[in-house]
Structures are given as structure tokens and as C-alpha cells.
A and B are shown apart, each in its own frame.
Chain A
Amino acid sequence: MNLTKILFSLVGSTLLLIALPASAGTVVVVSSGNGITELDASVISRIYLGKSSSFPNGSSAVPIDQTEGSAPRNEFAEKVLGKSESQLKAYWSKLIFTGKGTPPKAVGDSSEVKKLIADNPNMIGYIDESAVDEAVNVVFRF
């Protein structure tokens, strides 16, 4: 597990170093003004499922989704949250209709999410790796 992680990040950083055209991976990002450089999948999952509303360092965390039907959104739901879109809908309907929570706001595609994240240090989002620039920190890859 750890080894794969290390290999993964090695491969990832090598790719970045030699500045190959970005692959079609999806990454989780926060504003570079936020200071966080790495997050666990479980922390991200908790924030996106409304179970936690802060980053491990205590600052408040606001998750941002992409519009329903986008490829990164489906990939994020399946790989990070472990749920299909309809399972996620069922999960949120339990919380919405009991007043226990509301799903993350859905905001356009990778470039729109990136723009929003860049300007808001308390937000977290997932975008296509090709949309990454110096205004955001990649905190998780999948």
C-alpha cells in the first residue's frame, strides 16, 4: 500500500518535472494560499460526505462538486467516495430530508472549479490534472 503510494508520487513528480503534457488523471486541489499540500482519501471523503467541515489543521473546509454527469465527478465518486451517482443521491436524500446536511455545491467543469478554488483558501475541489496550475495545490491523486 505504502509502496504503491510512494511509487505513485514518484511517477507523478517525475512526470511533472519533465513537463510532459498532463495525463487525463483527476486530482484533488486546494488553493495554494491554503498551505495544505497533502490530504488522506478518508479526510477528503469525510468532507465530501458532510461528516466533517474542517481540514485536519482546523480551518474550515467547503467542498465543491462538478456538475452532474462530468467525467471527473463520476470518477471521484466511484474511486474516492466509493459510491455510484445514484447511491450518492440516496445518501444525500437521507440527510437533506432530515435536515442533517446538504450536498456540496456543484460548479461547472474543471476550469471553473479551479478558478473558484484558487480564490478561496477554505474550498476543496477535484479537477482534471490538465487544469492544474500554480494557483492550486494538488493534495491527492487517484
Chain B
Amino acid sequence: MLKIKLPLVSLALMSASPGLFAEELVVNGFMSVGAGVLSNSEVSVKGYDDDISFSADTVVGVQLSKQVNDSTSATTQLVSRGGEDYDTEAAWAYVAYSPDDVTTLRIGRLRTPFFYYSDFLEVGYAYNWIRPPEEVYSLDTFSSFNGIDASRQFLIGTAELFTQVYVGRLLEDFSVNGTAYEFSLQNLAGVVFGLTLGDFGYRASVHTGDGYTDLELGGTRDLDQVYGLATASGVGEKFALDGKTSHFYELAATWDNGDVSAIAEVTALEHETAMLLDEMSSLFSVAKRFDSTTVHLSYASVRSLKESDATVRNIQSMFERHDSSWILGARYDYDSSAAFKFEVQKIEEKIQAGSTSGEDGMLYSVALDLVF
């Protein structure tokens, strides 16, 4: 995992010469404390099992920002996640330069803007769910990258347009069945368009990157063995990963009149390598506010897509999946900075690891979300 070298540097930068500039150091924070339990341990959701657990949705973030001069600011956001043993990581650590009101250039560590909720992924207070549905929000291992971005807002009549382009690279471990692999995305780049028109909002984004891992022929980890099997079956080149390009496409539409809101988001992940399966995901959610209580209902699904070649398909079947969930939940704003949430999620694993005899299960979870 990327540890806190970068934020320490930014912290040092920000605390240097106190009082030199009139603008003060701004401290903001958010915290979510969650607990959940699964009806049975045959299904898997974000580190929960059939004993009540408290870490998976527990997260605390502290953000420090300082306006250095009229056009330049420094921001760092340190996040500790219960699901990662409370290791502290920088989700954001950047210097921003705004030559005018509507244009911003940022350099440093930034959120990868894959999704509608990416920018505030862990600020539970900012949305109704306890966590965004995993079927769609499955790339959160890669939620931050190191690089540079430029964004600009346009106001055309009553329409608000937003554009963002970024380039960078991403280096992160990821784990499959409890075993860690090194992974990096190089030549990572993307573009995001947003449009707000009254109560309607739209977002479209395209991302690309070249993957590299530490997969090795003859290795003992699961994916090494898959690579070995593919090589022995004569399709090793298709399963090689280094330097292969992946694309990610996302579309979202939202509607919010203050009392009723809805979002639909669909994504497609396309890999040049056969080692990673292409995926199509979607989520649909509606929410209605009754004074301080908001009730919401969501459906989310993910389906992996195999290649047409029979040998490749056979091997890919081992990690094929087709999952869906229904989530019914309520959020109660008992104070203007605190929300209590309760959710029931019905999980259906229609295809899991290639087997169609997937399991069903229920996840019951509660959370308390604060901002300060």
C-alpha cells in the first residue's frame, strides 16, 4: 500500500511559516462507524461474515487545506480504513492552482474519477447508502492515483458543465482470495464530462491504462497457476498481462428535486488481457425524503464477460461471476452533521467462480456518519 510519505511532505509544506499568510489552515473531517452481519457465510460482501463485525465500513478521514496565495492551495486528506487495519493512507495530497474562478490544475495524489461517487467515495455523510453498491463500485482498490489533472466549469444559461482530464500512474497491491499481487497502471489517463440542468444531472467518463503485475510462471499463487495453465494450454500470450491496455467507461444520470432523488449508473470494463474478465455493471436507486428521514431502494448487478475462444473461455470460467443485490435502507439525519443509517441487502450470486449454483444471503448493516 502507498503509505504516508507524500502527505508528510505536504504537511510540512503547509505548516511552514505559520502566520505568513492571512488565510488559516482549514481542518475538516469525516467519520463512519459501521457494523454488519451476514445471514450465512456462503456469500461474500466487503469483509463481512455471519458473526457481527465492526471494521469493514468504519473509516475516518481528516483533511487539512490551506490557501497559500490567491491562486494556489495545498490539500491533504488522510484516511484510515477499518477494513485495512486502520493503516493511514493519503486519499488526496495535492497542490492546486486556479488561474481563475472556473479553472483548476492539480498535481499530486488525487481520487481516480471512475465513478459518480468517486470524489467523495468515503464520505458516507454525503450519500444515502452505508457504502456505494459493490457490484458497480468494485475498483476502490484503485481509488487514488498520482498525477495531474485539469478541470473547468462552464455556465451556459442555466446549464452547468464540468470537464476534467487527468494523466498519471497508479501503483497498488490487490488481493485475490487473500493473496496479494503487485499491480500498477501506467499511462493512466481519462476524461470526465458532467452536466447539471436544473434537477437533472449527467456524467460520462472514459479511462484507459496499461497494466503491469508481478505474475510469474511457475508461481504458487492462484493467478500464477492460472497463467501457468493458460501457457500449458497454448493461450499463455492471451493471459499475459504486462503492458496490456484496459478501458473503463461510465455513464450516470441523476435526478433530485430535494425530496425525491434517483440515480442510474452503468459501467463497462474492457481488458486486452484475458487474465482479467471484462465486466458490465449497473445500479439504479431511488430515494424519498420524509423530513429528517430518507428511505431508499436500490438494485445493482455485475456480470463478467468471457472471450469467444473456447480454450480461453474454459479458463476464464474459473473466475466468472454474475452478482446482483437489492438494497433497502433508511437514513435518519438526527443532527445537521450526523446521520444514522440502516440497510438490508439481499445478495444473489447467480454465477460464482464459474458455478451457476451460486448462493443467496442477506446483509444487515448499521452505520453512523459524521462530518466535522
Contact = CB atoms under 8 A, between A and B. Distances in A.
B155 A97 contact: no
A10 B46 CA distance: 61
Given A89-B371, A96-B63, A83 B258 contact: yes
B129 interface: no
Given A68-B336, A99-B92, A99-B94, A86 B292 contact: yes
B371 A98 contact: no
22 contacts: A51-B160, A52-B101, A52-B155, A83-B258, A84-B292, A85-B336, A86-B292, A86-B335, A86-B339, A90-B126, A90-B127, A94-B126, A96-B28, A96-B63, A97-B30, A97-B63, A97-B119, A97-B126, A98-B111, A99-B65, A99-B92, A100-B119
B267 interface: no
A82 interface: yes
Interface in B144-170: 153, 155, 158, 160
A40 to B, nearest CB: 11
B58 interface: no
A102 interface: yes
B77 A97 contact: yes
Contacts of B158: 42
Interface of B: 26, 28, 30, 61, 63, 65, 73, 75, 77, 92, 94, 96, 101, 106, 111, 119-120, 123, 125-127, 153, 155, 158, 160, 258, 289, 292, 333, 335-337, 339, 371
Contact of B119 (A51, A82, A83, A94): A94
A5 B82 CA distance: 54
A99 B125 contact: no
A84 B336 CA distance: 9
A87 interface: yes
Contact of B30 (A54, A68, A93, A100): A93
A34 interface: no
Contacts of B119: 94, 97-98, 100
Contacts of A84: 292, 333
A84 B125 CA distance: 14
Contacts of A93: 30, 120, 123, 125-126, 371
A87 to B, nearest CB: 7
A53 interface: yes
Contacts of A51: 153, 155, 160
Given A54-B101, A68-B336, A89-B371, A102 B123 contact: no
Given A51-B160, A97-B77, A86 B333 contact: yes
Nearest to B74: A99
Identify which of B30, B73, B119, B335 gathers the most chain A CB atoms within 10 Å of its CB.
B119
Contacts of B94: 99
Nearest to B124: A93
A102 B26 contact: yes
The 10 A-B pairs at the shortest CB distance, nearest first, are namely A86-B333, A98-B119, A85-B336, A93-B126, A99-B75, A93-B371, A94-B126, A97-B123, A94-B120, A86-B336
A97 B28 contact: yes
